C-alpha cells in the first residue's frame, strides 16, 4: 500500500508541476517560461520524485513505464493494475487542483486545451494523427531504454534520476509542438477529463502509443544489454 500511495503522490506532482507550468506559466505575459521551461518542469518533477520515492515504489509515475518494466522483467504482473490505478487517480487529482487554481483567473477557458494532448487540429503545430502516433511510440520506446539502462545494476549508481529527468526534458523539447507531449497515459488522462470533448475522444492514442513504445523499448533494452553478469 505504501508503494501505491507513493505512486499517487509522485504522479500528482508530475501533473501538477508539468501541466501546471504549461497552463499557468508557459505564456504568462512577458515572463512566460515557454516550451523550454515546460520541458524542464516535467523533467524536474521526475528527477525530484525519483530521489524522494524511488526507493519506495520505483517512481514509475506512468502506466506505460510500469507496463514496460513488466515487459522488461523488472516488475511483477500482479502489481500492474494497482500501480496504474494509483497513477491515474494521482493525475486526475492533480488535474482537479490545477483546474481550481486556473479557474481563479477571470476569462480562463478550459476548452482551449488545459495542457491536453492532441493531434490534427488539436496538435500545437497541426501535426497529423500518424505523426503523433509515431512520435509517441518512438519517444516512449527510447524513454524506456534510458530508464532501464540508467537503473541497471551495472550502471553508475545514484545518477539514474538525473538521466531519466533529463531524458524526459529532452522528449518534451522534441515533441511539445507535435502532441503537447504525453509519453504517459496518466498525465494525458489527468487533464483530458476536465476538457472533455476532443481531449477525451483523442485520448486513445495517448494510451495506445506510449504502451506500445514502452514494451518495444523494454524488449530492445533486454536485447542490447545482453546476459547480466553477477
pLDDT at 26: 85
With b meaning 16 or more CB within 10 Å and e meaning fewer, what string describes 91-123?
A: bbbbbeebbeebeeeeeeebeebbbbbbbeebb
* Of 110, 56, 48, 47, residue with least CA distance to 86: 56
| DSSP annotation string for 160-215 | HHHHHHHHHHHHHHHHHHHHS--S-HHHHHHHHHHH-HHHHHTTTHHHHHHHHHHH
* Of 161, 146, 173, 5, residue with least CA distance to 87: 5
CATH H-level, domain 1-223: superfamily: Glycerol uptake facilitator protein. (1.20.1080.10)
pLDDT in tens, 165-224: 999 999 999 999 999 999 999 999 999 999 999 999 999 999 999 999 999 999 999 999
Q: What length is written for the chain?
A: 230
Contact 99, 110 (CB under 8 A): yes
CA-to-CA separations, 145 to 32, 97, 178, 209, in angstroms, rounded: 32, 32, 22, 16
pLDDT in tens, 6-55: 999 999 999 999 999 999 988 777 778 899 999 999 999 999 999 999 99
Largest CA distance in the chain: 61
pLDDT band per the 50, 70, 90 thresholds, residue 228: low
Answer whether residue 1 shows pLDDT above 90.
Answer: no
Answer whether residue 157 shows pLDDT above 80.
Answer: yes
Cα–Cα distance, 193 to 187 (Å, whole number): 11
pLDDT at 169: 97
Cα–Cα distance, 62 to 165 (Å, whole number): 13
CA-to-CA separations, 72 to 47, 78, 90, in angstroms, rounded: 22, 15, 25
**Helix, strand or coil for residue 144?**
helix
pLDDT at 230: 40
How far out from the chain centre does Cα 126 lie? 21
pLDDT in tens, 71-99: 999 999 999 999 999 999 999 999 999 99
pLDDT in tens, 95-142: 999 999 999 988 888 888 899 999 999 999 999 999 999 999 999 999
Answer whether residue 229 shows pLDDT above 60.
Answer: no
Cα–Cα distance, 186 to 159 (Å, whole number): 25
Cα–Cα distance, 172 to 28 (Å, whole number): 19
Answer whether residue 227 shows pLDDT above 80.
Answer: no
Amino acid at each position: 500500500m505504501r508503494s501505491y500511495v507513493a505512486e499517487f503522490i509522485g504522479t500528482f506532482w508530475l501533473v501538477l508541476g508539468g501541466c501546471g507550468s504549461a497552463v499557468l506559466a508557459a505564456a504568462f505575459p512577458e515572463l512566460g517560461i515557454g516550451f523550454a521551461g515546460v520541458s524542464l518542469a516535467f523533467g524536474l518533477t521526475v528527477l525530484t520524485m525519483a530521489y524522494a520515492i524511488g526507493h519506495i515504489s520505483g517512481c514509475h509515475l506512468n502506466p506505460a513505464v510500469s507496463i514496460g518494466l513488466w515487459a522488461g522483467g523488472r516488475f511483477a504482473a500482479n502489481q500492474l493494475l494497482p500501480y496504474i490505478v494509483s497513477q491515474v487517480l494521482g493525475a486526475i487529482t492533480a488535474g482537479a487542483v490545477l483546474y481550481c487554481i486556473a479557474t481563479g483567473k477571470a476569462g480562463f477557458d478550459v476548452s482551449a486545451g488545459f495542457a491536453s494532448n492532441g493531434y490534427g487540429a488539436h496538435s500545437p503545430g497541426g501535426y497529423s494523427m500518424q505523426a503523433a502516433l509515431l512520435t509517441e511510440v518512438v519517444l516512449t520506446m527510447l524513454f524506456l531504454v534510458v530508464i532501464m539502462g540508467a537503473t541497471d545494476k551495472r550502471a553508475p549508481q545514484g545518477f539514474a534520476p538525473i538521466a531519466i529527468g533529463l531524458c524526459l526534458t529532452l522528449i518534451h523539447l522534441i515533441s511539445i509542438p507535435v502532441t503537447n507531449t504525453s509519453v504517459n497515459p496518466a498525465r494525458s488522462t489527468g487533464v483530458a477529463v476536465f476538457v472533455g470533448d476532443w481531449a477525451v475522444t483523442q485520448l486513445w492514442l495517448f494510451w495506445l502509443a506510449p504502451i506500445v513504445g514502452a514494451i518495444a523499448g523494454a524488449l530492445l533494452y533486454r536485447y542490447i544489454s545482453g546476459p547480466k553478469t553477477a
